[in-house]
Chain A
Amino acid sequence: MGMAGESQFHVLAVDDSIIDRKWIEKLLKTSSFQVTVVDSVSKALEFLGLQEAEQRNHHQETKVNLIITDYSMPGMTGYDLLKKIKGSTSLKGIPVVIMSSENIPSRINRCLEEGAEDFFLKPVQLSDVKRLRPHLLGWRTLVEI
């Protein structure tokens, strides 16, 4: 069972900043996404673990279609989350987008090489969020660095 329609895409957002969580949630909701926001990678993994369990029981309510995560966080970073997702048989199909306030080309390259779909510089804009749909529909878009 897949999404009922375009507007049913569920995005999981991860950011340790309370202000940025509020901002990304607003951007995503304005763009008609269903949103879950958590403040750490461990909470994200917990949520995704629950999602895995529900899928095994054929309950798809919490199915996550895309993860958007801040890069710099205390404890596990967004890059650590990316590696975990791409290293997991069940989760590696979920597109991951990285956000960062720092424009460091080597960081951006590292994330893209590790399988990130896209990289957004903060503060994230509505136009960035609108770029998510093609990723969700499985199209790879060219990212100009």
Chain B
Amino acid sequence: MDGVVQLQRQLLDYTALLFQEGFLNDQFTQLQQLQDETNPDFVVEVVSLFFEDSERLLNELANTLDQQSIDFRKVDSHVHQLKGSSSSIGAQRVQNVCIAFRNFCDAQNTEGCLKCLQQVKNEYSLVKNKLETLFKLEQQILAAGGSIPM
């Protein structure tokens, strides 16, 4: 079916672009490689956990940085968690901002932290959007009777 082949090419091109632009790294490929018939929704499940967890952490970060007297250890702890989870799914750009963010925490630099919070929110939003698009493409392929190309 031509439709399926086109969709599959679209998916491969889109995925390649995400890697090129640094949104995803090899760890995401590792996730995809472990998905199989016994657990066909594995990647979506892990990424969904990442979305939920990140949103929780971003809220906590906003609250912690909104205090009169900022507890930088608490900020650092949240950023450490976000860095870990983004690294575990291959969300490279989010991970990179977290690294810079932790440096500002160490320096107890409020302005730096607030800037990083904005940046990490942006990067999270972008990668969320991109992954949702990717999953939609996969769904379209499956609905059209095709299989996900690797």
A interface, CB within 8 angstroms of B: 17-20, 22-23, 26-27, 30, 72, 101, 122-123, 125-126
Contacts and interface: CB of A to CB of B under 8 A. Distances in A.
B84 interface: yes
Contacts, number: 44
A131 B30 CA distance: 17
Interface string B88-127: 1100000000000000000000000000000000000000
8 contacts: A19-B49, A22-B46, A23-B31, A26-B34, A26-B42, A125-B30, A126-B30, A126-B34
A23 B53 CA distance: 14
Contact of A17 (B27, B34, B39, B84): B84
Contacts of A23: 31, 46, 88
Given A26-B34, A123-B27, A123-B30, A18 B88 contact: no
Contact of B87 (A18, A27, A122, A125): A122
A25 to B, nearest CB: 10
Given A26-B42, A30-B34, A123-B30, A18 B49 contact: yes
Interface string B77-91: 000110111011100
A18 B88 CA distance: 11
A22 B30 contact: no
B49 A22 contact: yes
